[in-house]
């Protein structure tokens, strides 16, 4: 029996989480327990961060399942700072238990939906015409891969960082059901590739994204995640600025 889209998405979210666990298990005892600072996160800081955003997704999906808009949250940067300082001194075993509990809760929340619930762009008013699928994969998969790639690069494991990026692209390409969500996810991947210096590939994905959904052009003109591309003639041509 072939998997439903919900099952495929759930598998991707679990895969990204397992990759975080695998990274931590590959570290020395000192690296695992190390504390960073707000400008330079340690691996356990990153785990606390992604766990928080999974927890928020559990809450958002609960509201969405009841056909209610999610609550308003403080700005992204403010929340990240608050989470960092709340969790800065939490021992790694406690963070891992919280992460596993959160991952199970997320899987349960996701399983309440049907495939059409997450692919219909008009299903939920708060999504403003963008399918719920892009939020789920963007938050629970691409966001996690972004932090993993960043950590592996800091550890000078460039081959692992590259393989994670490539696998993420392949996984997204395999989801024929993406529809309009593909534009947002390609855009997110372009931001990730920009941050890691893969500018040509980033521009390829960004161009495809903007062709699918031209409404993203305006945001791309001001998105700080794309600042490294801003002087590139190809970027200027596709964004008109």
In the chain, where are the structural domains located?
5-133
Where does the chain show beta strands of DSSP type E? none
Q: Report the pLDDT value the prediction gives residue 1, as an integer from 0 to 100.
A: 46
CA distance 238 to 240: 6
178-204, pLDDT tens digit by residue?
766 778 778 888 888 898 888 998 999
Going by CATH, does the domain composed of 5-133 fall within 2.60.40.10? Answer: no
Close Cβ partners of 141 (under 8 Å, ≥ 6 residues apart): 12, 13, 16, 168, 171
Q: Report the pLDDT value the prediction gives residue 176, as an integer from 0 to 100.
A: 67
Q: Report the pLDDT value the prediction gives residue 102, as an integer from 0 to 100.
A: 98
| 155-171 mean pLDDT | 87
Q: Report the pLDDT value the prediction gives residue 197, as an integer from 0 to 100.
A: 87
More confident residue, 196 or 79: 79
| 44-73 mean pLDDT | 97
Q: Report the pLDDT value the prediction gives residue 108, as an integer from 0 to 100.
A: 97
Close Cβ partners of 110 (under 8 Å, ≥ 6 residues apart): 6, 9, 10, 13, 61, 136
Q: Report the pLDDT value the prediction gives residue 172, as an integer from 0 to 100.
A: 82
- Alpha-carbon distances, residue 192 vs 55, 88, 165, 179 (angstroms): 22, 25, 8, 21
CB atoms within 10 A of CB 215: 12
Q: Hey, what are 118's tokens? A: 């997450």
């Amino acid at each position: 029996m072939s998997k439903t889209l919900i099952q495929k998405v759930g598998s991707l979210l679990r895969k990204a989480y397992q990759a975080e666990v695998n990274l931590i298990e590959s570290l020395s005892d000192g690296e695992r327990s190390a504390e960073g600072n707000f400008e330079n996160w340690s691996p356990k800081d990153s785990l606390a961060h992604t766990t928080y955003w999974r927890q928020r997704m559990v809450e958002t999906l609960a509201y969405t399942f009841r056909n209610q808009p999610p609550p308003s949250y403080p700005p992204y940067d403010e929340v990240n700072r608050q989470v960092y300082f709340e969790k800065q001194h939490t021992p790694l075993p406690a963070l891992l238990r919280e992460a596993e509990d959160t991952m199970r809760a997320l899987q349960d929340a996701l399983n309440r939906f049907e495939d059409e619930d997450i692919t219909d762009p008009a299903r939920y008013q708060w999504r403003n015409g963008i399918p719920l699928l892009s939020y789920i994969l963007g938050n629970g998969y691409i966001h996690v891969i972004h932090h993993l790639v960043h950590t592996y690069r800091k550890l000078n494991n460039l081959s692992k960082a590259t393989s994670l990026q490539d696998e993420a692209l392949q996984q997204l390409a395999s989801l024929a059901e993406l529809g309009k969500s593909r534009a947002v996810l390609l855009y997110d991947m372009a931001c990730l590739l920009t941050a890691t210096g893969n500018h040509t590939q980033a521009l390829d994905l960004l161009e495809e994204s903007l062709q699918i959904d031209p409404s993203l052009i305006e945001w791309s003109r001001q998105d700080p995640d794309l600042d490294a591309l801003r002087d590139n003639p190809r970027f200027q041509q596709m964004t008109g600025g």
